[in-house]
Amino acid sequence: MSLRCALRDRRVWIGAGVVAAIVALRATGLADHLSLETLARHREALSAFVAANGVLAALAYVAIYVATVAFSLPGALFLTLSGGFLFGAAGGTALTVLGATTGAVLVFLFARRLAGEDALDRLGPKAQLLGEGIRRNAASYLLVLRLVPLFPFFLVNLVPAFVGVRLGTYLLTTAFGILPGTAVFSLAGSGLGDVLAMGGEFDARAVLSTEILAALLGLAALSLAAIPLKARFARG
């Protein structure tokens, strides 16, 4: 495609606009405020707002998570922990899965709309390897990649759109695949109350609460599961 044709293609301008929006959002420094210190300072106000405006707070949380995933902004882990803290382990898990899945689907639809024939090649060798695996068995491969982060999250959001994965397959594997890890982090978040109430003072008995110990064991199990999976994918 010549430069003149490219400039006439609306997809080029839309893509440039999205990139500019992402750069602008990152430049604002909002991600710097997504930390446990911020949550500790405002935990009482946030908890009171959630208690008084449950539905509105849930919708706001989902909207923020959707934007974070759709624009590939940092802070998803902090948001997941905050969801568990504010809405409980079960509520936080449900809201986070909804927000993360919606954001991922928006990325998928956007990428499929704007993708060119050589889009996968432009993402590099990791994307090509990922694409080959997805073509062989889309549902099982995507489910594994959601369960265990063998590739960067943004690649798993983008590549399926370039290799013809159906939207229904993508949506279901995303929602069910991220559920275990989300539940683990939400469970950890639900146990943060005592830790944040300490005002920054470290106490192993508070940090190693039952909820956080369970979360750490869950993460360890997910990490161990990645070892044979990585070896299998390396063999092709």
Each residue's pLDDT tens digit, 16-40: 455 555 555 455 555 555 666 777 7
Domain ranges for the chain, please list them.
Answer: 1-33, 35-235
pTM: 0.73
Contact between 130 and 157 under an 8 Å Cβ cutoff? The reply is no
What's the pLDDT at 229? 62
Which CA distances in Å does 210 have to 70, 183, 220?
33, 15, 15
* 64 touches 79 (CB < 8 A): yes
Name the token pair of 64: 């923020």
pLDDT for 171 equals 93
Question: 173 and 146 in contact (C-beta within 8 Å)?
Answer: yes
Give 169's Cβ-side CA count (13 Å radius): 15
Residue-wise pLDDT tens digits, 180-207: 888 888 888 887 776 666 655 434 454 4
pLDDT value at residue 57: 95
- Nearest-angstrom CA–CA distance, 174 and 120: 20
Query: pLDDT tens for residues 151-178?
Result: 777 778 888 888 878 899 899 989 988 8
